[in-house]
Amino acid sequence: MDAMAPEEYASQSKLLQEFTNVPSIDSASILKTNDEDRSRAMFSISQPDLLANTNRKYVLYSHITTRAGTGTTSPDFQWSPFPTETTGVSATVPSPSGSKLLVVRNGERGCPTKLEIVCQSHVEKEIHVAGSVHGPLYTDEWFHGVSWNQEETLVAYVAEAPATPRPAFNRSGYTREEGCSEGDCSAWKGQGVWEEDWGETYSKKGRPSLFVLDIPRGEVVAAKGVPTSLSVGQVVWAPESPGGRHKYLVFVGWSERNGFFQNTARKLGIKYCSNRPCALYAAPCPIQGPEPPGNPPATTDGKSGSGGAVARNLTPGFSSALFPRFSRDGRLLVFLSSKQAVDSGAHNATDSLHVINWPSDWKMDEQLDVTQVVPVVMCPEDDDGGCFPGLYCSSVLPDPWLSDGRTVILTSSWRSAEVILSVDVLSGKVARITPEDSCYSWRALALDGTNVLAVSSSPIDPPSISYGRRLAVTPAEGEARRWTWDEVTSPFMASNSKVKSLLLHHSVSILKIPVPSPSADLSDGGKLPLEAIFVSCSCKGSSRSPTVVVLHGGPHSVSVSSYSKSSAFLASLGFNLLVVNYRGTPGYGEEALQSLPGKVGSQDVEDCLAALDFAVEEELVDASRVAVVGISHGGFLTTHLIGQAPDRFAVAAARNPVCNLSLMAGTTDIPDWCYVVACGTQAKRYASEAPSPGHLRLFYQRSPIAHVSKVKAPLLMLLGGADLRVPASNGLQYARSLIERGGDVKIMMFPEDIHEINLPRSDFESFLNIGVWFKKHLNAVA
């Protein structure tokens, strides 16, 4: 604790606790009923538990009543009186009919994984899966996949493959592994051969593999025909062939050799990286139905008597295919492609949407045609944000189809907002269906027939439930006018009331900032205005309040106008917030995004300074009282700004920042990132585990450490000791360099945290210390 301000720590920690207590609405499912006017919603919510250093998870139910087909009456939500805590539960997945629930309890420290089939009154079946079959199920946002078949007799899912056998030793030397357990004091297991992993957050996990649970038999069977060179995720069931003779699984497969350095394959980190090559595959279910009498046994490739099962690549012409989703009638299969990211090397880029017409009698030897539905948008048709900028989807709902069978609902970034889109898969028409005249961001949670259950928020308004209804309008009025949104009275309103009162006098606006001195060789998209989200206190004199410049990481990620606990906390302390979406941010078209690789440390720095200059010229902020904070690439920009513009910033905080690309290239799980951001998208062919002297020199020149001698601002450095993306050595080297030069530096290390520093206690302490640090140094220049 800083000895200067124990009272400040006490008051700010009490205030931060109010923001920490606000629950997060993570996901929702709609459960069918026999009444078309009624449905049930199951919400998954979470809340930090600081004492246990975990997130509490709850389930909250609501009955929804509408007047089906009219679209004229607001829905009625009847909530359960209390949420139910789901201690020890890793995932809950309702069956298609809503009559059953799969409850997953992942085993820890060698304990079996438990799979429970729950009906409306009791646990119908409980299956314990030994570690020799598979490890914990994947429940992350990338490899996660749990899918019921329509008959609700089988569940396909992705789990960790069994651990590779390791040698065992005792006092006599080598012994059989079977005779040695982790708790055996008379023997130990050796380390075995090192295996590459998927990097950040996945370093201790087994290979993502495909399994099927046979519920009636209580058995788990591994999928056949899937090469061990593939990591599997996002599995769904294909429609059954007539008579149920063939059952197929469709899934995403990532090659375990996804990066090539000097023609040598290796495994690169996948977290936050949509540029890893992948494809859609189909494989036969290992549990097939009985053969009709008189028919010869069919083999897994769809041919009689040919033998052998090999997963079929359904998208051989695509370097990327993600989130496969079948329409409810089984005729259409849509998927997203991040081909633009894979081909360019940018770690995120503009997506495209594609569809496959799925034959009812499809067989494994049949190649299917793929049709593009929504192409990559290179440059929006206008510069005021009104035209569709392209698809930027971090996930897709498990069932994104409206009941018309041709419209999918997607959540996507649209400049500085997150919006909900409808896409007509047959015509390719895209419409923004959430309101355009607000600073709110929206996220679809689930579909209820022709309606959408969503969550909306703004930087000063905590998340609330909204219900979108599709109205009957003429075609000339357009799809966007068909939608009306009702704010739902929910229990979340009570938990949000204290935070709303703390931010009652704040306002939000989106600033459009002209590109500073655009060069002639810039693309049209690269010349479009960038944006910044400005949060200020609407009371008199707010322009004299200190301002915090907030910078996102990536660089190809985005700050959207949604509620953020940390930003709301900083605003409640009396700071204005200037949240900059510099060029390279998704949501503005592909040309704007691709304008940054090869120019980091210059173009992005200029954009941040241009945003600050704009806010000063508009008399929104006091130029003498400015702080800056960022994580990852945002930390890269933070440390660049205090070095390149040392007189513009009174104080700074950096969370796991990139400070020296030449050091990071040899220690990160994504060394290709260093080449792309520093050298441009053509750098993939130069990438090497042993960078040339020229590349090392360029990496250094583009890094904040090249400007460390000019830094004047006090710096708070926050580091995760288990970060594999930007190892702590990067921030430590920079901080020690500042200390060596007499700089005012405070270092905080969180030993168990990864890149995000998101363990509840660590997150709490991070922003508490940022608040105190900023108050101390900004008050000093008041």
Catalytic residues: 632, 723, 755
199/331 Cα distance (integer angstroms): 37
Whether 645 contacts 604, CB under 8 Å: no
Tokens 């000895």 locate to 3
Side-chain-facing half-sphere of 619: CA atoms under 13 Å: 2
427/134 Cα distance (integer angstroms): 43
Peptide bond before 555: cis, by omega within 30 degrees of 0?
A: yes
Whether 39 contacts 52, CB under 8 Å: no
The closest of 108, 120, 60, 52 to 86, measured between CA atoms, is 60
Q: How far is CA 620 from CA 458, 506, 693, 780, in A?
A: 20, 13, 45, 21
592/594 Cα distance (integer angstroms): 6
Angle at 464 (CA atoms; ends 459, 466), nearest 5 degrees: 120
Per-residue HEC secondary structure of 118-180 comes to ECCCCEEEEEEECCCCCCCECCCCCCCCEEECCCCCEEEEEEECCCCCCCEEECCEEECHHHC
Chain center to CA of 484 = 28
Tokens of 673: 């990132």
Q: Which amino acid is at 718?
A: L
Tokens 């915090």 locate to 548
Contacts of 775 (CB under 8 A, 6+ apart): 5, 8, 12, 573
Contacts of 364 (CB under 8 A, 6+ apart): 248, 282, 284, 300, 301, 302, 303, 312
- Phi first, then psi: what are they for 199, rounded to 5°? 80, -145
Q: How far is CA 235 from CA 232, 316, 672, in A?
A: 8, 18, 28
Q: Which amino acid is at 265?
A: A
Side-chain-facing half-sphere of 226: CA atoms under 13 Å: 32
- Phi first, then psi: what are they for 679, rounded to 5°? -110, -15
Contacts of 514 (CB under 8 A, 6+ apart): 529, 610, 614
* CA torsion through residues 707, 727, 343, 553, sign: negative
Q: What is the DSSP letter of 459?
A: T
632/21 Cα distance (integer angstroms): 26
638/653 Cα distance (integer angstroms): 7
Whether 704 contacts 755, CB under 8 Å: no
The closest of 736, 657, 662 to 702, measured between CA atoms, is 662
Angle at 279 (CA atoms; ends 337, 403), nearest 5 degrees: 60
Give the burial class of 540: count Cβ atoms within 10 A of its Cβ; 0-12 exposed, 13-18 middle, 19 or more buried: exposed
The three-class DSSP label of residue 264 is strand
339/61 Cα distance (integer angstroms): 39
Element (H, E) at 536: strand 530-537
Q: Which amino acid is at 470?
A: R
Could you give the strand order of the β-sheet that contains 332-337, starting from the edge strand earlier in sequence?
Answer: 322-326, 332-337, 352-357, 370-374
